[in-house]
A = this chain, B = another copy of it.
Amino acid sequence: MGVVGGGQLARMMQQPAIALGVQLRLLADSPDDSAAQVIADTVIGDYRDLDTLRRFAQGCSVVTFDHEHVPSDHLRALVDDGVVVRPGPDALVFAQDKGLMRQRLASLGAPLPRWQPVSSVGDVRAFADECGYPLVLKATRGGYDGKGVWLVSNEHEAGEVLSHDQVPGFIAEELVEYTRELSAMVARSPSGQAVAYPVVETVQRDGICHEVYAPAPGIAEDHAVAAQQIALRIAGELDVIGVMAVELFDTVTGVLVNELAMRPHNSGHWGIDGAVTSQFENHLRAVLDLPLGDPSATAPCTVMVNLLGGDLDDLYRAYLHCMARDPSMKFHMYGKAVKPGRKVGHVTAVGADLSDLLERTRHAVAYLRGDIDE
């Protein structure tokens, strides 16, 4: 099974691959990449080069992804070569292009914030007449972790954003008054089997996921069911293969779809320690058309907190402290050098008492970052 991209998502696929007896082949930029450190069959090369992709795919029974940046044309060329690519380019394009995604989801009747493709200040003005300022501008392609998303308060700011000449297109979106953000993760296999994970609450800062609570505490049952049904419907209609995360806004009147990710997603990391079958295992199972595993939580509550690079660049002593303080904390380190704001790991605690889990996970991350020293 080929995996394009050497980040932490590919790294975390290797754990269930070892259990399931699945041999991974990795295409990474460098032997130091997070996943390249832990996968024996690693090819170093550039995923933007079609010949490199073709050579890499030879001998793989299926090719999947750590990220969504492989050009659609390259994926279509691989498919034309007879390579099995999952998810396929016709599905993946909806995770790659926010404009196409919203167009398609609107046609399916999925609940969305009001939105409009925009290419000029005049377009933004027309949209603002309807929805008001502040509003959100998004690059249709290439954004992640808050990059490619701008909150603008007036035409002048909108004009500055639209002047980014490396962005292929923009959409404008109303600023939704949400009570919290949710993520609905599903896995779907080529034979059409699909499973839905418990809907989780995600806490984002500056567009970057910081914390995940599984399941979303106190969520209205009808909102949770709606989120799962929307995710299952999208996966089916778009013929998604593998796992997909649907990020949603929870509002007083219901849920609205925000973004799609057609790969393992930060909002699903909790399941490595807190679900019977992790998103990584179900991604492998789905992509290989194996029967899917049980997505149920194993405990009443799981909290995952991301470790973003902070002041400490040598984690070792802090790591010792945190392990000694909390023997049941689960640590996940990605083998990446610490840079401020970079996702270098996450911690997870599983139990029954949300406030206890929050206190412990937040303390561990603050200590590992160097924000606190006691």
- For A220, what are the chain B residues with a Cβ–Cβ distance below 8 Å? none
Decide if B37 touches A293 in the complex (CB within 8 Å).
Answer: no
A1 within 8 Å of B (CB atoms)? no
A-B contact pairs, 10 of them (CB 8 A): A17-B38, A19-B331, A21-B334, A21-B345, A37-B40, A277-B328, A290-B323, A291-B327, A294-B327, A298-B299
A332 within 8 Å of B (CB atoms)? yes
- Which residues of A from 285 to 300 have beta carbons under 8 Å from B? 285, 290-294, 296, 298-299
- For A323, what are the chain B residues with a Cβ–Cβ distance below 8 Å? 285, 290-291, 293
Decide if B335 touches A21 in the complex (CB within 8 Å).
Answer: yes
A36 within 8 Å of B (CB atoms)? yes
Partner of A335, one of B23, B299, B327: B23
A330 within 8 Å of B (CB atoms)? yes
- For A14, what are the chain B residues with a Cβ–Cβ distance below 8 Å? 14, 18, 38
Q: How many Å lie between the Cα of A313 and that of B195 in the bound state?
A: 31
On A, residues with C-beta under 8 Å from B are: 11-12, 14-15, 17-21, 23, 36-40, 42, 195, 272, 276-277, 285, 290-294, 296, 298-299, 319-320, 323-324, 327-328, 330-335, 345, 350
Decide if A296 touches B328 in the complex (CB within 8 Å).
Answer: yes
With known contacts A291-B320, A320-B291, A323-B290, A11–B18 Cβ distance under 8 A: yes
Q: How many Å lie between the Cα of A292 and that of B332 in the bound state?
A: 15
Decide if A37 touches B20 in the complex (CB within 8 Å).
Answer: no
- For A332, what are the chain B residues with a Cβ–Cβ distance below 8 Å? 19
Decide if B23 touches A18 in the complex (CB within 8 Å).
Answer: no
Partner of A12, one of B18, B23, B319, B345: B18
Partner of A18, one of B38, B293, B350: B38
Q: Tell me the smallest distance from the CB of A42 to a CB of chain B, in Å.
A: 6
**Among the interface residues A17, A39, A272, which one has the most CB atoms of the partner chain B within 10 A?**
A39
